[in-house]
Amino acid sequence: MNYLRVLSRIVCFGAALLIIAGRAGAQDKPISPVRDYWPTVDWKTSTPAQQGMNSKVLAKIKPYIEKKFPAIRSVLIVRHGYLVYERYFQYFNRDYKQGDTSITQSISSALVGIALKEGYLKNLDQKLVDFFPEYMTPDIDPRVRKITLKHLLTMSSGFHKYDLFSKSIQERIRQKPIHEPGDIFLYDVDAVDLLSPILTKTTHMSLLDFAKKHLFNPIGISEFTWDLTTYPPFDKKPYSPYYPAGLGISLKPRDMAKFGYLYLNNGVWNGKQIVPSDFVKESTQKQIKTNILEGPEYLDYGYLWWEKKIQRYPVYIAWGYGGQIILVSHDLDMVMVITSGGNDGSNEENLIERFIIPSILK
């Protein structure tokens, strides 16, 4: 009888350990914050004070921008899920669609994550040769055979930055890398653009249709444009237009904020996992150090997202040429959007350090 009691206690203790271990493991995964609504239809607005921010400090943004950054077109701040600041400049308003240039890359990254979730892609270690075996002739540089999806997502394919947007896939793949894949960050839109034919081949949908179905429709983005290119990606004549993965999307500023908010919530939208949480976490963590110097340090890079710290706060940014920015801060539970007509892109740190962080009430 004593033996049975001891055995019973051992079994119960072991079960308890398994439950605790399971809970600990679950805590390692990102958890979406609890939200009292989702801005699928539109954002709810709130006063800064209701979301722990000082409106008097935020009111200084407008005259500062008009004096220092006259090319800025809009600034939006979402905190705790509510739109607390929204200003448009010059003749722009909430209905205009901003050409987001390289922000398209962060959206394409999300589509890769979704394709993984839906089973169209196996993993990020899949190689170019898996998708384009017809171009892998014996004279292809051996380093090209090593290039993976992860290398494309981290801009570390080893290809040099060439102007190959008018070239076919075969011509792009026939380049000779200047580095081993994975070794060096080189900003290369052409290499990123290979994600478009990869996703088109594997999903049997255009990049635009795949984005509509799996990303934009679920989070309420219905009005956008994605410029077609007539460049020949599929090496068949007559060439068909396609949607590039590296450039081309135009979004309304409020919809840009929705995309940032999806990532702030670890890929969850209204209870549904749109982008896998693990993929969101990996995308927005340092995967490689870049050769882009900002201040005393080089920027870090995830999966087509930029990483940095502003003061003590880690943030990640979808960044487009000319000052287009979607900035996400988990520590502040905040998304910030800036659109511009030609700034150098450094204004987001200036605005956050001068106004956003000082406006947060203790």
Residue pair 258/215 in contact (Cβ under 8 Å)? The answer is no
For the chain, give every domain's residue range: 49-94+288-359, 103-226
The whole-angstrom separation of Cα 84 and Cα 12 is 51
pLDDT, one tens digit per residue, over 341-354 is 876 556 667 888 89
pTM of this structure? 0.88
- pLDDT of 4 > 60? The answer is no
Residues 162-180: what's their mean pLDDT?
A: 77
Residue pair 326/260 in contact (Cβ under 8 Å)? The answer is yes
Residue pair 226/219 in contact (Cβ under 8 Å)? The answer is no
State how far the alpha carbon of 162 is from the alpha carbons of 151, 170, 222, in Å.
Answer: 17, 14, 34
pLDDT confidence tier of residue 249, bands split at 50, 70 and 90: very high
- pLDDT of 169 > 90? The answer is no
If one looks up domain 103-226 in CATH, what number appears? 3.40.710.10
> Percentage of the chain surpassing pLDDT 90?
63
The whole-angstrom separation of Cα 99 and Cα 339 is 9
